Structures are given as C-alpha cells and as structure tokens.
Structure 1
C-alpha cells in the first residue's frame, strides 16, 4: 500500500518528533540533577540547557498552510548559568530553581507521553474499526 493511504509517514514523523522532544527533556533533567548533585561543590557553576534555532537546509518549501515545510530545527547547548548569586565558595546553584525546573521537565514529559498515548489510541481505533 502506498504511504499516503496507510498514513505511515505521518505516524513515523509524529513518533520521531516525540522521541526527539523526550530526548531533549531527558538532557534537561540530567543537567538539573547534576546541578543539584553539585550544590555543595566549591566553585561549581550551575549549567542550563538552551535551545537555539538552526536553519534546516534540507527542509522542503511550504506550499500550503497545513504542510510541513521550512521550519527551523532546534539544537540544544549546555552553558554555564551566569545569573544567580554565588556563595562564598563561588557556587551559584539555587536548589529551589533546580527543583522547580525538574518539576517542569517532569510535567512536560507527562504531557508528551499522554498526548502520544492518545494519538496512538486513535490510530488503533481507526485500524480496528468494523465497517
């Protein structure tokens, strides 16, 4: 069956997008946990994950509103956080901020997985629908 009929390419794209998003959240979680683990390490500078847009040279041109097209891709970079007050040892980890960030990541992961579960349930229902 052609891909357009089975809808496989749309589902594959959705699964890939969800995987990438969850990988990004996993990196954010690891960086937050490393900051918490080093909260008492003298001279440790908290790190954070930032997202930057990069040009997607391989993207196709969008010809209609609903089509995927030349959207920029995002790249993640880990940088040292420059804000926040450093203590006497030079450590600038703020536990409240790190814990709040972890909660935000956990919520984002939960929303993503729940949305993906709902979409897969729709695909399953459509595939097993009795006519």
Structure 2
C-alpha cells in the first residue's frame, strides 16, 4: 500500500516539473516591436527569433493591416490568410518561417511584407 502512495507522489512531482518546464519556456519568449513599414523585411534581417516569441505590430489601421500568409501569399502578395487590423496586433510565432504582408493599396508589392524564421 505504501508503494502506491509513493508512486502517486512521484507522478505528481513529475507533473509539477513538466508544468514548470512549460512555464519557463513561455517566460523565455520575447516580444519584438516590428517596424511595420515599407521594406519591413530589412527590419527582421539579422535578428534571432524563437517559436513562441511575439511580434508586436503597431501601425495606422486606416492605412495598413497585417495578414499572416503562407509562402505563396508572401511571394505572390495574395492575402489569403488571417487578417489583423487593430493597429496594435500581437502575433505569436510558430516554428519555421512565418510570413506577413500588408494587403491594402498594393503595399505588399511595394515591399510591405516580412518573412520571419523562428527556431
């Protein structure tokens, strides 16, 4: 009988350690303030990003938006994706390359787009 209680305590301890590891990983996430403007890709060059980091996009919502797109949307300036238009958007990066464009007034074609790779 005592053996069963010890196993439960060990299981509880493992669960707490796992939870602390998840919380520590989340605490390691950084928030990056994006210069959401034309030639936005230049802003992301040379920076290191991790999955879970947050990009903070601040912009004039009457003139711009942010659309999270796939690679085809990024290269072809197609806005099929999730659109953000609050003027103060917080987007959590997934693992791999994350693509963003402005879909208003031909801005993507004028360079208002960004690819961010998160490790």
Q: TM-score higher than 0.5 here?
A: no
Structure richer in helix, relative to its length? 1
TM-score normalised per structure 1 = 0.31
Structure richer in strand, relative to its length? 2
